[in-house]
Amino acid sequence: MRILITGATGYIGKRLIPILLNEGHEVVCAVRDASRIFSSYKEEENITIVETDFLKEETLSNIPKRIDVAYYLIHSMSNSATKFHELEKLCAENFRKCIEQTDAEQVIYLSGITNDTKLSKHLLSRKNVEDALKSDKYALTVFKAGIIVGSGSSSFEIIRDLVEKLPIMIAPKWLHTKTQPIAIRDVLSFLSKAAGNNKLFNTSYDIFGPEILTYKEMLLEFSKIRQLKRTIITVPIMTPKLSSYWLYFVTSTSYKLASSLVNSMGIEIIGKPSQINQLLNVHPISYSKAVSLAFEKIEQNSIISSWKDSFVSGRLRNKAHKYVNVPTYGCFTDKKQRPVTDLNKTLDKIFSIGGKNGWYYGDFLWKIRGFMDKAMGGIGLRRGRTHITNLNVGDSLDFWRVIYADKDKKKLLLYAEMKLPGEAWLEFKIENGILFQTATFRPKGLAGRLYWYTVTPFHWFVFKGMISKIVA
């Protein structure tokens, strides 16, 4: 079959693509920014990449007419836009109109369990999207998932941060809310096995794991698997705003995402039983098994996707390639260069920078800068990096975003997502045996200029040591 995947660079989309390819399908990836697709996918003969934005009708003509099945995996947990729910509904309506002009017989939509009569803003938005996707021209298959557990998922990483950082937790009362977590591998099994299955046409199913657990029980089970003794005390006085700040300061999530999650966590997510497990021969694994398998992936350094690489986790909202051309007019720069004696080793160091590997010099100053950013409502250094040695366009890298990454062309370009009175880039490139390291800052007003002059002494110290360590 020829299958269209929207949200191909997202957490679910990245993991679904190789499964569909292994099953012999031809995959069409609809993305807003083609530069974010893995280079290995671009060389795959059964993949077609089309650039389209379902909020911009003029780009929808890029979607090919010959499609058998389409996956709708577009969703944003950001609440930065006042009317985000209206934008999501518009996106779904444009998608429906577009797919109605193709040969597609089935659309598969991954949503969240929405059985509670009182829904959060985000769960209500998902319900509205489902309604907007219904059509007489194709069959709609809807899967409503519980909390998704897997390496790189937002739920998994937040729980991991809480358990590994806090021996004693003074937590909000919503930790007693019940939910039914499901492993990412089971979600992918449901999605992939549903393609072209006419038994599922115009149906909706809740998909969930075998256990009903509270968030507190999930935290304690997680700590047991990690062999960590943890004590959790819940208090009734934490307002949603305080709860959001609690998540924000302890975990790697942004405040906006933390706020969205808190609004959803007070609502029970219990699935309605059905025959879907038997229909597709999928038997969801337990929560503890899902956590154990996630850590196996982490230890093998084989995480395919992470929520942190979504643009939702930072300040960048537009296409990455718009920031590739680093400005020069009205900018301050810090330029360093060193001769390279071992090309491969130097490139490996460049593409392994950040995260647990550190920044090679003055790491304590980087940590201070990260703490300052976090204190001002920024993301700090909490996101780290998804893969220990590989970088792709769109990946998060501490408080940077990867804008360009090509080892063959010997160049890495990062864009700053920290709180700044301006914009900043950090570039590494090797030409004619010389490593050029350039930090560029485009100030915004007087505050931006004062900021640059204030940090210049630290830049000289840190950037000089960093480039020396990279070529050492």
Of 78, 201, 225, 186, the closest CA to residue 137 belongs to 201
Of 133, 15, 105, 135, the closest CA to residue 386 belongs to 15
Q: Per residue in 74-130, pLDDT tens?
A: 875 444 444 666 778 888 899 999 999 999 999 999 988 876 556 556 667 777 888
Mean pLDDT of 412-440: 93
Structure tokens, 126: 């998902």
Distance from C-alpha of 415 to C-alpha of 396, rounded to nearest angstrom: 10
Chain-centroid distance of CA 381 in Å reads: 16
User: What's residue 172's pLDDT?
Assistant: 78
pTM over cut 0.85: no
CATH 3.40.50.720 in the chain, residue ranges: 2-308
CATH topology of domain 323-471: Alpha-D-Glucose-1,6-Bisphosphate; Chain A, domain 4 (3.30.530)
Q: Per residue in 135-155, pLDDT tens?
A: 999 999 999 998 899 887 878
Q: Per residue in 314-355, pLDDT tens?
A: 555 555 556 678 888 889 999 999 999 999 999 999 999 998
Q: Per residue in 200-227, pLDDT tens?
A: 999 999 999 999 999 999 999 999 998 9
CATH 3.30.530.20 in the chain, residue ranges: 323-471
**Encoded amino acid at 89, one letter:** K
Radius of gyration of the chain measured on its C-alpha atoms: 23
Q: Per residue in 13-72, pLDDT tens?
A: 888 998 999 999 999 998 887 766 666 566 677 888 888 888 888 888 889 999 999 999
Residue 383 has pLDDT above 70, yes or no: yes
Write the secondary structure of the chain as one string of H (helix), E (strand) and C (coil). CEEEEECCCCHHHHHHHHHHHHCCCEEEEEECCHHHCCHHHHCCCCEEEEECCCCCHHHHHHCCCCCCEEEECCCCCCCCCCCHHHHHHHHHHHHHHHHCCCCCCEEEEEEECCCCCCCCHHHHHHHHHHHHHCCCCCEEEEEEECCEECCCCHHHHHHHHHHHHCCEEEEEHHHHCEECCEEHHHHHHHHHHHCCCHHHCCEEEEECCCCCEEHHHHHHHHHHHCCCCCEEEEECCCCHHHHHHHHHHHCCCCHHHHHHHHHHHCCCECCCCCCHHHHHCCCCCCHHHHHHHHHHHHHCCCCCCCHHHCHHHCCCCCCHHHHCCCCCCCCEEEEEEEECCCHHHHHHHHCCCCHHHCCCCCHHHHHHHHHHHHHCCCCCCCCCCCCCCCCCCCCEECCEEEEEEECCCCEEEEEECCCCCEEEEEEEEEECCEEEEEEEEEECHHHHHHHHHHHHHHHHHHHHHHHHHHHC
Q: Which residues pair with 406 in a beta bridge?
A: 411
Lowest mean pLDDT among 105-109, 130-134, 425-429: 130-134
CATH topology of domain 2-308: Rossmann fold (3.40.50)
Distance from C-alpha of 282 to C-alpha of 223, rounded to nearest angstrom: 28
